[in-house]
């Protein structure tokens, strides 16, 4: 914990909030954007500071890391709000079983095989898992996600699954030309929303990280996922 300071985390969050609020106002986003704290490599004691700053949404990337940290997270109600934990990293089908019970949303669904396994386990555990379809908006080989052209048919395949509720889209765009890629995501999101697919409620557009969250807000992001902007540079141990 030596590299982390509660004062710095507090100040970081204050500035990010201010930037989000400013962008919401400027672009008529009506303050719909929620700030997620992305926790990878950050010790749980430090992650817990964010609850005192009014952030109640955590983003987890790695199953093993999450399993090691979740017992230490202070996930009780804070100011009447129960914190939520979303899975946002690449997810192997054989690891769904470890997170099916206590993750609130899986944002990184990008294959039918993965969706089928989430559906199977959710049914077996008597729950409905909220999911986002991850879209590879830049068509990059290095990134997960469904090609944008396949997103509609993919979501139509997920829609009838009883253990899954599709809530929207997530993306990690290329690091350049943010306006172009977020603009395309916004169009795709609205196109799918306008189709009114039964069993699908398009509410969530998860995009924007430390370097591009303000642009993401401009294009209607409802969740910005910020790691280094809150906690500082990641230290890999």
Ligand X SMILES: *Cc1c(COP(=O)(O)O)cnc(C)c1O
Q: Which residues bind ligand X (CB under 6 A)?
A: 38, 40, 61, 88-89, 172, 209-210, 225-229
By three-state DSSP, how is residue 63 classified? helix
Least separation in angstroms between residue 126's CB and ligand X is 29
**Cβ closest to ligand X, residue 40 vs residue 167:** 40
> Residue with CB nearest ligand X?
227
Q: How far is the CB of 209 from ligand X (least distance, A)?
A: 4
Give the total residue count for the chain.
237
Query: Taking Cα atoms as reference points, which of 175, 184, 172, 178 lies closest to residue 223?
Result: 172
Contacts of 61 (CB under 8 A, 6+ apart): 38, 40, 87, 88, 89, 90
Q: Minimum distance between the CB of residue 194 and ligand X, rounded to whole angstroms?
A: 27
Q: Tell me the residue ranges of DSSP E strands in the chain.
A: 34-38, 57-60, 84-87, 105-109, 129-135, 164-171, 200-206, 223-226
Tokens 């280094």 identify what position? 228
Number of neighbouring beta carbons within 10 Å of residue 233: 8
C-beta of 161 vs 167, nearer to ligand X: 167
- Rounded to a whole number of angstroms, the minimum distance from the CB of residue 160 to ligand X is 27
Q: Which is nearer to ligand X, 119 or 221 (CB)?
A: 221
How crowded is residue 67: how many other Cβ atoms within 10 Å of its Cβ?
Answer: 13
Instruction: Compute the least distance from the CB of residue 71 to ligand X, in Å.
Output: 22
Angle between helices 151-158 and 178-194 (to 10 degrees): 40
Smaller CB separation from ligand X, 153 or 236: 236
Which lies closer to ligand X via its Cβ, residue 84 or residue 123? 84
């Amino acid at each position: 914990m030596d590299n982390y300071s509660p004062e710095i985390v507090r100040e970081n969050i204050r500035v990010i909030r201010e930037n989000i609020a400013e962008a919401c106002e400027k672009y008529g986003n009506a303050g719909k954007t929620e700030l997620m704290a992305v926790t990878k490599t950050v010790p749980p004691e430090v992650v817990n500071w964010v609850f005192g700053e009014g952030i109640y949404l955590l983003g987890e990337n790695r199953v093993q890391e999450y399993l090691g940290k979740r017992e230490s997270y202070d996930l009780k109600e804070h100011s009447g709000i129960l914190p939520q934990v979303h899975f946002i990293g690449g997810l192997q089908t054989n690891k769904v079983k470890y997170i099916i019970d206590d993750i609130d949303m899986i944002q990184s669904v990008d294959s039918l095989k993965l969706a089928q396994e989430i559906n199977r386990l959710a049914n077996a555990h008597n729950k409905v898992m909220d999911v986002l379809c991850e879209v590879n908006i830049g068509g990059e080989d290095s990134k997960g996600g469904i090609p944008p052209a396949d997103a509609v048919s993919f979501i139509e395949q997920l829609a009838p699954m009883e253990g899954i509720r599709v809530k929207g889209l997530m993306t990690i765009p290329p690091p350049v030309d943010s306006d172009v890629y977020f603009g395309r995501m916004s169009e795709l999101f609205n196109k799918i929303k306008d189709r009114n697919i039964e069993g699908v409620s398009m509410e969530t557009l998860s995009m924007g990280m430390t370097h591009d969250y303000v642009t993401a807000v401009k294009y209607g992001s409802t969740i910005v996922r910020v790691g280094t902007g809150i906690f500082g540079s990641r230290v890999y141990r």
